[in-house]
């Protein structure tokens, strides 16, 4: 009788130890989907840094266009661009602490140079220059950055952000191309003050189309 009770108690204790051990393991190891969402590869990191830096610059360019732009279409486009970049920026800021990435908060040198040049222009020349830099160049670069992340990234949240951004990038690029009659790999005007460039001195007015 005593042996039977002892055996029963031993089995109960053993069962409790197994249960406690399973609980500790469950608490120590997070769910698989949470682990994946906290991981990033080099493509993810590059995407976050590049997109964040471009976003800061394009928001500042858009704000400048709202102040200095003369065409209603340019101001519409600038506001749509600010909205686009703020959406991406908010998502990156939400993800960054979880994946331990410190996002840039100021524009890089090339963007600073473009902003300085834009701030020196006015009238139709400013409108054309802004659409060239903030519309054409910015979205050509963004398309490559977002496509690379969508194809080769690891983090599912970042991949979703890239996939969601690509149609908007395409839409804004198409709008800027229509407003400037841009053709791929073509420089329609110069905005650096060089001589011998009549097009930069007499830019064509913006066509009366709505920015989307």
Q: Does residue 34 carry a pLDDT above 60?
A: no
Measured CA to CA, the distance from residue 123 to residue 207 in angstroms comes to 15
Which residues, 6+ apart, have CB-to-CB distance to 181 below 8 Å?
A: 188, 204, 207
Q: Look at residue 189 in the predicted model and tell me its pLDDT.
A: 64
Confidence band, pLDDT 50/70/90 cuts, at residue 183: confident
Measured CA to CA, the distance from residue 139 to residue 113 in angstroms comes to 18
Task: Name the most confidently modeled range: 93-97, 177-181, 193-197.
Answer: 93-97
Determine which of 43-47, 142-146, 208-212 has the lowest per-residue pLDDT on average.
208-212
Average pLDDT over residues 133-141: 95
Mean pLDDT across the chain: 81
With tokens 């690891």, the residue in question is 154
**Cβ(115)–Cβ(68) below 8 Å:** no
**Cβ(75)–Cβ(69) below 8 Å:** yes
**Cβ neighbours, 10 Å, residue 119:** 13
Q: Does residue 85 carry a pLDDT above 90?
A: yes
Measured CA to CA, the distance from residue 46 to residue 51 in angstroms comes to 8
With tokens 């890089």, the residue in question is 108
Q: Is 105 exposed, middle or buried (0-12, 13-18, 19+ CB in 10 A)?
A: exposed
Q: Does residue 113 carry a pLDDT above 80?
A: yes
């Amino acid at each position: 009788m005593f042996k039977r009770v002892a055996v029963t108690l031993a089995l109960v204790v053993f069962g409790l130890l197994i249960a406690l051990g399973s609980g500790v393991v469950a608490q120590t190891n997070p769910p698989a989907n949470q682990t994946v969402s906290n991981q990033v590869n080099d493509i993810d990191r590059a995407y976050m840094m590049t997109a964040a830096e471009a976003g800061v610059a394009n928001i500042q360019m858009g704000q400048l266009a709202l102040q200095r732009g003369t065409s209603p279409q340019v101001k519409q486009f600038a506001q749509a661009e600010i909205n686009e970049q703020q959406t991406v920026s908010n998502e990156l800021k939400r993800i960054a602490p979880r994946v331990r990435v410190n996002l840039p908060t100021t524009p890089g040198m090339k963007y600073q140079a473009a902003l300085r040049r834009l701030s020196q222009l006015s009238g139709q020349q400013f409108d054309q220059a802004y659409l060239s830099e903030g519309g054409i160049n910015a979205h050509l670069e963004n398309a490559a950055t977002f496509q690379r992340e969508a194809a080769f990234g690891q983090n599912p949240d970042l991949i979703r952000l890239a996939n969601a951004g690509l149609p908007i990038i395409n839409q804004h690029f198409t709008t800027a191309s229509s407003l400037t009659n841009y053709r791929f790999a073509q420089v329609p005007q110069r905005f650096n003050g060089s001589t011998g460039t009549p097009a930069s001195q007499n830019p064509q007015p913006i066509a009366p189309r709505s920015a989307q």
